[in-house]
A and B are shown apart, each in its own frame.
Chain A
Amino acid sequence: MIAGRIAAVALMIAGAAAGATAAEPLPSGTSYLSEGLRTQQLDEAANPGMLWVGEGARLWELPQGPAGRSCTSCHGAAADAMRGVATRYPAVDAPSGDLLNLEGRINRCRTRHQEAEAFAYESDELLGLTAFVARQSLGMPVRVETGGAAAPHYDAGRAFFHRRQGQLNLSCAHCHVDNAGRPLRGDTISHGLANGYPAYRLEWQALGSLHRRLRSCSFGVRAVQHGYGSPQYLALELYLAARAEGVPVETPAIRR
């Protein structure tokens, strides 16, 4: 009798511990696509985002800057060198203390190591290279660092996510936490994860960055649209990546 009660309590404790350490990852936006679009996303020969990935693969090998250095010159083959990298971004760049997403890291590499000009945000070049690098982490779970030097950025991103803004006076959480998985017009509200970006969005008829998507969100609630690569969106990107912990990278995902 007593032994049974102790066993039950032990089970409850074990259950609580498991819940705290291994929370179920949130569902990816892909789970809200029709079967047809999901099939298209998974088929490299049919996913139009792969056109940009192909461009990124070409740029990876292309000598740049006065020294004629390509990405390969330092990193070697992307399949090995970039495997898993996207799962850790955004991350703080140690020398500068800046929070960088993949786009920022690529441009930092260009200016710091290739002595080349940074690519414009949302240019086909930067989208292609970002998607190509992210593609090397396909299927690997997102796991970003939120402590240490990243902590203030994480806190800023979390605050942004939960702050009401815009003429509609909505926070990100009002849609993507409180109403995630529920229908909105002909759509389903996602959990606001970024594991598929850069993504091929049907409305854009092109590949686009997460920051382009975030600008759409800001527009949607009639709030201030922050700039591409702005500190506000970078911090938010970090918080979204933390929310996506354990969710596999799916770049280039197809989104509506």
Chain B
Amino acid sequence: MPTRRQLITTALLAGGLAGLPGAGRSTPAMRDAAVDRLTGGAPVRDGRVVLSVPGVAENGLSVFTTVAVDSPMTAEDHVRAIHILSEQNPIAHLLTFHIGPRAGAARVSTNIRLAASQEVTALAEMSDGTFWRDRRLVVVTIAACIDGG
């Protein structure tokens, strides 16, 4: 059961993700299910992936996110895809980068939205079919003055 404060906080974040009744939130279990869909049930190992996110995000509407994967990025041995997953947003699978040997390096950045403080997961899919991940906790704060637009 969310507390009243959580509900109000959610409503205040309406500029971004939550707010509409029924938009819902994903849960760690839904995140895990999304990971399973991406891996086809293959094991996921910690390591080789470095997810860089701010420990404290000033606004959940735009959180600068970088993922780097330790890979030679050759035709034989490279990263195929990098996925970013959430355990608290309305949807768990936020985005996928498709890369390959022509990238020369496995390093990508973007800005993601986070509906609440949560653990963010970066999942890398290698050319040999293995999966690696990194997970980071992001505390999402709310600006002092919100005008609703």
Whether A and B touch (Cβ < 8 Å) is answered with yes
A interface with B by C-beta (< 8 Å): 33-34, 36-37, 40, 184-187, 189, 202-205, 215-217, 219-220, 256
Query: Can you list 26 A-B pairs, Cβ within 8 angstroms, ordered by A?
Result: A34-B54, A34-B56, A36-B54, A37-B64, A40-B64, A184-B144, A185-B142, A185-B143, A185-B144, A186-B56, A186-B141, A187-B141, A187-B145, A189-B144, A202-B58, A202-B62, A202-B143, A203-B59, A203-B149, A205-B16, A205-B61, A205-B62, A217-B145, A220-B145, A220-B147, A256-B143
Query: Closest chain A residue to B141 by CB distance?
Result: A186
A53 to chain B, nearest CB (A): 18
B interface with A by C-beta (< 8 Å): 15-16, 54, 56, 58-59, 61-62, 64, 141-147, 149
Query: Closest chain A residue to B58 by CB distance?
Result: A256
Q: A187-B144, A216-B145, A216-B147 are in contact. Are A256 and B59 (CB under 8 A)?
A: yes
Interface of B is mostly: loop
Chain B residues in 8 Å Cβ range of A187: 58, 141, 143-145
Query: Closest chain A residue to B55 by CB distance?
Result: A34
Q: A37-B64, A185-B142, A187-B141 are in contact. List 12 more A-B contacts (CB 8 A).
A: A34-B54, A34-B58, A36-B64, A185-B141, A187-B58, A202-B61, A203-B61, A203-B143, A203-B146, A205-B16, A205-B61, A219-B147
Contact A186–B147 (Cβ < 8 Å): no
Contact A204–B149 (Cβ < 8 Å): yes
CA distance A40 to B145 in the complex (A): 22
Query: Closest chain B residue to A200 by CB distance?
Result: B62
Chain B residues in 8 Å Cβ range of A216: 145, 147
CA distance A203 to B58 in the complex (A): 10
Contact A186–B64 (Cβ < 8 Å): no
Query: Closest chain B residue to A185 by CB distance?
Result: B144
Q: A40-B64, A203-B15, A205-B15 are in contact. Are A33 and B144 (CB under 8 A)?
A: no
Chain A residues in 8 Å Cβ range of B146: 203
CA distance A186 to B149 in the complex (A): 19
Chain A residues in 8 Å Cβ range of B64: 36-37, 40
Chain A residues in 8 Å Cβ range of B59: 202-203, 256
CA distance A252 to B16 in the complex (A): 22
B130 to chain A, nearest CB (A): 30
Contact A186–B58 (Cβ < 8 Å): yes
